[in-house]
Amino acid sequence: MQGIAFGPTIRLLRQAKGISLREMARQLGVSPAFLSQIEAGRQHKIPRARIVQVAGMLGVSEGYLLGTAKQVHPDLMKFLSETPEAAEFMVSAMRSGMIGTDFTNLREIVSDKKLRAGVLKPVPVPKRKPGVSHHLDDYLDPSLCLAGVAVQNKERLFQRFVKAVAKKNKNISSDILLDRLSARERQAATGIGGSVAIPHAFLQGIEKPMVGAFLLQRAIPYGPGDDRVKTVFFLVGREGNTEHHLPILARIARLCSTPEFLQVLAKAKSGRDIQKTILTWDARIGT
């Protein structure tokens, strides 16, 4: 129907929202058996109005739900169904703002055994290897780590971040970066739950990706409904080179899916505290 992974995508998002099959079926006005058939990919006649209703319950737009479902390759979905850790990552990644076309690149992570293990599986004593690295200490900029940031809304938040980036990088246009972040946000809000958001964009004129982290004084409205955000990770990728983007997003999403990490991070009083906390916890993830 709408895509080879429409049903499984609904199931992953439903589980991420903590909604039972029976409860979702009740709210949709259908039987649990019918919804189960949809999630299993055995029911193809779904009215558009019902799809809009499902998307609303899952906190995403109709276009985002269908676009994502159409891009998830069957090999990737098979892997996700067999690997709980991978499914957890995909849910975090989707909620962190990945769009449908991102999952084409995500297949490379799945097919690359070493990279897959590094993104999804923590190891006791991580060892750095030569070559391309996705550890956050290669990209986390201490000047872009700020505690106690006072902003009233998402627009002010982005302006504050863009100003910090432009101050450090004179060759970067703050207007262009702001436009890129805002355009990405219009596709789908990048809040991932737990009062966390990971806004991201691509930009020309930077040597390598930049990662920043803001802790806000007060939670601000961020996504649809009553979603509010107090912890914000920013990722600015190098335009034309997506090699690093998805693995970095994966590492951030992985960190933020750990409540203990967020609790410790919330206690940071300065940018240095933020940087130290992030890098300490990131070191627990493999290469």
Query: What stretches of the chain show up as alpha helix (H) in DSSP?
Result: 6-16, 21-28, 32-39, 48-58, 62-71, 74-82, 84-95, 102-111, 113-120, 154-168, 174-187, 245-256, 259-265, 271-282
Strands 196-197 and 191-193: antiparallel
pLDDT in tens, 141-162: 999 999 999 999 999 999 999 9
279 CB contacts (<8 Å, ≥6 apart)? 136, 137, 140
Residue 263: both structure tokens together: 């609790």
154 CB contacts (<8 Å, ≥6 apart)? 185, 220, 221, 222, 229
Q: Which of 46, 71, 96 is the last residue of a domain?
A: 71
Residues 268 and 180 in one domain: yes
Residue 1 has pLDDT above 70, yes or no: no
pLDDT in tens, 223-249: 766 678 999 999 998 887 767 777 788
Residue 61: both structure tokens together: 């737009």
What phi-psi label fits residue 234: left (phi over 0), alpha (psi between -120 and 50 degrees) or beta? beta
Residue 59 one-letter amino acid:
G
Residues 66 and 144 in one domain: no
Residues 164 and 263 in one domain: yes
Q: Which domain holds residue 256?
A: 136-282
Lowest mean pLDDT among 95-99, 128-132, 279-283: 128-132
pLDDT of residue 132: 47
User: What's 146's domain CATH number?
Assistant: 3.40.930.10
